[in-house]
Every structure is written in structure tokens, then in C-alpha cells.
Structure 1
Amino acid sequence: MIGVLAPVFGLALLDSLNPSAVAITLYLLLAGGSFVPRVLSYAAGIFAANLALGTALMLGLGSVSGLFDGPVAYGAQAVVGVALLGYAVLAPDSPKKEKKERRPRSLGVGAVFLLGMTITVVEFSTALPYLGAVAILTNAGLTTAQWLPVLAAYNLVFVAPPLLLLGAYRLFGARLRPALERWRERLQGAGRETLLWILGIAGFLLLADSLRYFEFFGLL
């Protein structure tokens, strides 16, 4: 079980470095007013949508789990890992474009919850660390009672940065505001670089998990 949890929670920590989630959290904190319910609602929206999508994917993959448990499946996982790692290292530079920050038109709790859910669904096809974690859990052949708590814990790790930012801003308030405003500005222009780091580390973790299955050179 430890051999499954280590790469899964490694991917969870990696996935939590989501510049979109952090940038919107910073906006919600700095917009003034009752920021606590807004950030909690936003994090809840992300958690609910991501857990629901992951559960649906696990149940769908579980129905054909035999196809994902064996040398061919782990070989394919190794190929995906190498491809992600290679792209992260070799991807050409792209011209910088001014990005518009996603901001909710309404700061109501319900609107922010829906914002969290909507962004999660829209970005799900690029959630490669999460998809990798689902693949690892599926390959492990766990029962629903085993993988569901792991998936829930993954998503708690995923929403930890917004909650930690909320706690820090709650404690230190105005003293943090200038630093948070500068951080938000940097995040708006650093999304691609962060994505490449995420792809590279996700590729490494997927490759390492597949090599562990094959007992590569007896080292993993």
C-alpha cells in the first residue's frame, strides 16, 4: 500500500501547485469584505468537483480494471511518463501574451462555489497529475472502500494552498497584503513555466511507478 500512496501523494503535492487556484484565492482575499466564506466556498467547489470527477473516472476504469493491470498497462504508463518528462524539458519557448485573470463577477458565496466547480471541470483535461494518480490507484486493484478515502485525501491536499493562504491572511492581514499583491501579479505571467514543471515531475512519478512494477534493475 505504501508503494501506491507515495506516488499518489507526491502527485497530490505537485497538483496543489495550481497557479489558477492560487491566483483566484489571492483575488478573493484582496477584494475586501468577508473573505473567509468566499475562500472556503471556492475551495469547497474545487474539492467537490474534483472528487466527483475522480470518483466517476475510478468507477469507469474499475469496470475494465483488468485492462490496466499488467505489463502492457505499466509499459504504456512508462511511455506517457517519458513523454511528459521529455516535453517538459524540450518544450520550445512561446511568445509572452497578456493573460486575463479569471475573476468572479459576483463575490457571493454561491457564485464563488460555482466558479471553483466550473474552473475545475474546464481544466480537468489538463489535470495530468490527478489523472496519473487515478491510473496508479486503478492499477493497484484497490476496492472502493480503499481508494475512495485516498482520493478524498488527495483532494484535501489539492485545496490546501487556498486554505493555508486563508489562514495566513486571517492571522497577519494587512502585513501580508503587499506581498500577496506582488505574488498575484507574478502568477499571472508564470503559468506556462509552472505547468512545465508540473508536467515534468508528473512524468517522473509515473515513470518511477511503472519501473517499480517491473522491479527495474532490482532498485525500485
Structure 2
Amino acid sequence: QYFCHRHKSKKKAFTKYCKKWQDEDGKKQLEKDFSAMKKYCKVIRVIMHTQMKLLPLRQKKAHVMEIQVNGGTVAEKVDWAREKLEKQVSVHSVFSQNEMIDVIGVTKGHGMKGVTSRWHSKKLPRKTHKGLRKVACIGAWHPARVGYSIARAGQKGYHHRTELNKKIYRIGRGIHVEDGKVVKNNASTNYDMTEKSITPLGGFPHYGEVNNDFLMLKGCVVGTKKRVLTLRK
């Protein structure tokens, strides 16, 4: 928590820290810090955030994440990260077509569910006493505890999951202006040359129009519409 959340509060986040970049002594200290990183650090990570104003979502708060910089020497990593400070990093500069990536996210939630729905255990015969969507035996007499691996009722879905090896079919460019004209053609292929946008008629259900750069992956991804996903190389 960096600043006061009260409505009347005049305090703003990072007001003192940002003066470091304007002050001469502060600039010297920053140069010192960057050179110390190049000398002593082995791993360089950058803090990045999403741009919520570009999305058709109600949420304003950005998602903040620390991402490790790989490739090259430590000095090159620090220089690269420094020139990217406070700048937009496009998806084209990170991923490429036909690349295999991992998708990390939270699955679709289903709330409290019984054992048959949650673990796909076999239903008991029709005439079973006290219900048939149950597990008949939940363990031996001894050990006199219910083991962790026994199927039980409880929360289903809304779990953090990582799915490996999803192929990037296309990296699409968002709607942009070229030579004074708005270019929306980002869905045509070698077989279908008609100029069209990736957004279907009426927009994607529960999302809206896609106006920014996009990724098209093979297969499905975890979670509901509008779910935030982490793409990992």
C-alpha cells in the first residue's frame, strides 16, 4: 500500500520517488544503482502493467506483474529494460507466429459441487440408500483418517492452472491509421482475401470489439470471457 485510499486524501503515489529523476543528486544515485545492477546482479526483472483504458472493461485498476528478462548479458538486460521504462511493449516484440507458448490463468468457477461432478466418480446403483452420487468407500479402518487423495465434495473450478504448448496461429495488428486512413483489415488470409476485421458481426459475445493487437492460439484457454491470462515463453 503506497498511498492513502481515503476520499479526502491529497497524497498521491510515488510523488517523492519521481523527484529522483529530476534532481541532479537523484540522477547520480540512479546511475550508481544501474551500474551496481550491472556489476552484482545475476537476474534482472521488470515490473509491468496492463493498459486497462484500451479494453472494453469496467475495471480501471491495472494488473501489475514482475517479469524476468532473459537473453544476453546482464548489462544488455539492464540497458534494454532501461530504454523500455514507461513505454509500451507490443506483443509483436515478444512473441512470433508458429511459436509454442504456455498459458497461465484461473479456470471457470463452478462453486460447491458434489463428488460425481467434481471428480467424475462412478454413480452407484439405482436402489442405493441415502443417495447414489457418492463415493461408497472413503478408505480403510486404519489409517483412521480420510486420505487427501480420496474424492470428496467441495469447490470446483476457479483454480490456477498452467497449460503447456499452445501454438500461435496469428499475431494480428489492431485497428490503426495508415496514410490518413483507418485500417481495419486484420482477418484476411491467403485463401480468403476479403478485407475484414477479426471482430464478428455484433462483436464477440460477453466481450465486445477487438480494436487492439491480438493473438490467435490453437485450442482453448482456461477461464471465462475477459479472464486475464499470462502468456509464457
* TM-score, structure 2 normalization: 0.18
Structure whose residues are more often strand by fraction: 2
Q: Which structure carries more relative contact order (alpha carbon 8 Å, separation 6+)?
A: 1
Structure having the higher Rg: 2
* TM-score, structure 1 normalization: 0.19
Structure whose residues are more often helix by fraction: 1
